[in-house]
Structure 1
């Protein structure tokens, strides 16, 4: 199989694209359910705080990434296997639920296509190597985090912390950077935004970002090392400004409405994954490559 991929980049790319479609379908579940799982856990903990000491433990409904089976939120129609084929099922159903005919959000196939495209790009960029496996895993994590934060202003620890440890584990073998640079990158990434958070809060009395942003930048530092942090911060700031202004104009949401920073960190992280060396040379060498 490895020799087939080495000799036929087109087959390798096609395999990655198909794999990305399947994983993208699962990421749709992750994006939708993890915030709801967090809310359920929070409500259960609140019930425990208010309950008498000798009260029985409240029984929460089983809800995770596997159960219950996916269903239409409007009519409860259970999604069959044939209705769950990435992109194809959406096209066959003409973007509507088979049960109640309500419109299905086009974001589902878009996430699948985005995951497939970025998976193929990352894999082909690094070739048939352990680095490609690491890059693809990072891509999947970042897609989930970008959409969860865009929807809910949350960056779940259940995703950011494993991402951080994965970066350190891969860099045990210098996959992207030596381990010492990865450790310093994780610490520096957290402290940079932590410092910005407290300076902003002391000056304005408001919270400018959440702790999840600290952890995500720490994770990116663990993957790419401390040298990559300036380019990540710069790219996230630029993308945040451009996309934020565009959204404010197109959606007429107003410039004063808070916006999550995680999606821009995720975008910057993926761009650093693909163009990291070039970006660092541009920043540290004043544009000389």
Structure 2
């Protein structure tokens, strides 16, 4: 790792290439994990209700099954699975049936590569950089799943929180107390908003996954990073959400996934949370 720190001209391209490969795997998780969870929930429901088992083969696994075209079901060759470049070479269409391939694939791969390079640029090629890359990959995956399904699975949010607390146990980014308080404050802050909104309107304004995601982010950014995360996510959510509703011709009652806004704000707070707080304090004349 010291060699890469001393030779970033070698390290950055290596991380970028690795980021493309990791982004390809994140696409698989984004697309397959919700289907696996739904299949398992249906099986569990039938078992709890005492209903007979129906023939319901499981969806493709996340690791074992090879990638295939969703339209014609043909398994893809190795040269059709090269991250980003295969999509460009195929011009965004299946080689056999010419069905358009979702632009999600190259976007997630490219985004992952860029953000992982940003992680090692900010934190270096050691454990801090590795942890930042891990945090980033979780946020990308959760954002993709929430955008597609409006779900934030416990299978991702809870491990992300525990990883943040484990990192704090070794003072990787902050002290354990700050990480623990950040996780608690993250959960309680959104839970309080949800509870008050439900008491006033009788409706649930957000899902429990949002509470857990902010708790997980809090474990990584600490107590001081929670306020910038909430403010940034609310601002971005209000602006982007309004534009999206207007473009789609939807009314304000249309549910909008809040997870991606929390993820973006949490990533920014993780990188520059202290600078944001210090800048606000100076601007407000409190420092």
Is TM more than 0.5 here?
yes
Tell me the SS of whatever aligns to 1:102.
coil
Q: How does 1:254-269 map to 2 (within 5 A)?
A: 254-269=251-266
Distance, in Å, in 2 between the alignment partners of 1:149 and 1:271 is: 19
Instruction: Quote the offset at 1:31 in angstroms.
Output: 0.4
Q: Which residue of 1 aligns with 2:78?
A: 81
Distance, in Å, in 2 between the alignment partners of 1:216 and 1:285 is: 30
Unaligned runs of 5+ in 2: none
Distance, in Å, in 1 between the alignment partners of 2:261 and 2:58 is: 34
Instruction: Quote the offset at 1:250 in angstroms.
Output: 2.6
Instruction: Quote the offset at 1:189 in angstroms.
Output: 1.0
Instruction: Quote the offset at 1:62 in angstroms.
Output: 6.1
TM-score by length of 2: 0.94
Distance, in Å, in 1 between the alignment partners of 2:257 and 2:77 is: 34
Does residue 148 of structure 1 match 2:145? yes
Question: What is the count of residue pairs matched by the alignment?
Answer: 286
Distance, in Å, in 2 between the alignment partners of 1:23 and 1:43 is: 30
TM-score by length of 1: 0.94
Q: Which residue of 2 aligns with 1:39?
A: 38
RMSD: 1.8
Q: Which residue of 2 aligns with 1:278?
A: 275
CA contact (8 A) 2:154 2:209 kept: yes
Does residue 184 of structure 1 match 2:181? yes
Instruction: Quote the offset at 1:251 in angstroms.
Output: 2.7
Q: Which residue of 2 aligns with 1:126?
A: 123
Does residue 253 of structure 1 match 2:245? no
Distance, in Å, in 2 between the alignment partners of 1:258 and 1:59 is: 30
Change (3 A) 1:260 1:56: closer
After superposition, give the CA deviation of every residue in 1:96-147 in whole Å (9 maximum; x if it has no partner). 1112111111121011000000010111111123111111100000000111
Does residue 99 of structure 1 match 2:103? no
Q: How does 1:224-243 map to 2 (within 5 A)?
A: 224-243=221-240
Distance, in Å, in 1 between the alignment partners of 2:284 and 2:134 is: 30
